[in-house]
Structure 1
């Protein structure tokens, strides 16, 4: 249907998909591994390290361009205060990019448009995409490490609000 003069058409929904979680063998402490390498905007994959598990939500989501979405990662089987928490994304053609590490540390190019937070009382950390864009199409991963390593090689501090 054509759009009349003065009317605006709604923003298209950005397509999303998710593969069912697979069973992975436990990994050595401090390593993360996604359960899926399928792609789609905001496709989430769980990571496993030893006895500790990270559960990501939502598994599938559709969002209109410009809208906000929040991803949640819950730690089960251990205390989150022992770990450094991370959010990454990977598009189908590239290497993983570090979006967020810890409280106010963001990967290069991610200081604007993303907001990470930690709720240690609930063993949960989140990532907000403040205004979804088509170039945000990727697989998003949460991860945890016991040691701080240069997983985010170029990082920038974001001031506290």
Structure 2
């Protein structure tokens, strides 16, 4: 079964007082076969990923955002349910993996 998952990474935030960090999605929409993995990429511009906190959120049906994965330089990259994240410092990317996608994973995801 195929499902389409729009990916939006639109959060802007500041680190310090004068540095703006911009997060942009690599792909906006893609389709995954249920049971297969899905990977989301969010490119970071204007920041140092050595001191980071990566968070991924999913938008619920009532438009609320809920945390699906969180990682920072003081934590391990242990999976949170079906989700696992990592940082690619050389490509300045936050990455979220859904290990085995299901229909309930379909939706809009945000990085921040």
More strand by share: 2
1:104 equivalent among 76, 88, 92: 76
What residue is the counterpart of 2:31 in the other structure? 62
Counterparts in 2 of 1:19-98, with a 5 A limit?
41-50=5-14, 51-93=20-62, 95-98=64-67
Mark the runs of 5 or more structure 2 residues left unpaired by the alignment.
15-19
Aligned residues: 104
Mapped partners of 1:104, 1:138: distance in 2:
26
- Partners of 1:118 and 1:69 lie apart in 2 by 16
Q: Say if 2:90 is the partner of 1:121.
A: yes
The answer to whether the 8 A contact 1:66-1:132 is kept is yes
**RMSD of aligned residue pairs (Cα, Å):** 2.1
- Structure 1, unmatched stretches of 5+, are 1-11, 17-40, 144-161
1:13 matched to 2:2? The reply is yes
* Contact map agreement 1:118 1:126 (CA 8 A) in 2: yes
Structure 1-normalised TM-score? 0.56
Report Cα offsets for 1:6-57 as digits up to 9, x if no partner.
xxxxxx211x3xxxxxxxxxxxxxxxxxxxxxxxx34323222242111112
Greater relative contact order structure (CA < 8 Å, 6+ sep): 2
> Taking structure 2 as the reference length, what is the TM-score of the superposition?
0.78
Once superposed, which parts of structure 1, at least 4 consecutive aligned residues long, lie more than 4 Å away?
A: none
Q: State the structure with more CA Rg.
A: 1
Cα deviation for residue 95 of structure 1 reads 2.4
Change (3 A) 1:57 1:87: same
> Which residue, 86, 97, 101 being the options, matches 1:132?
101
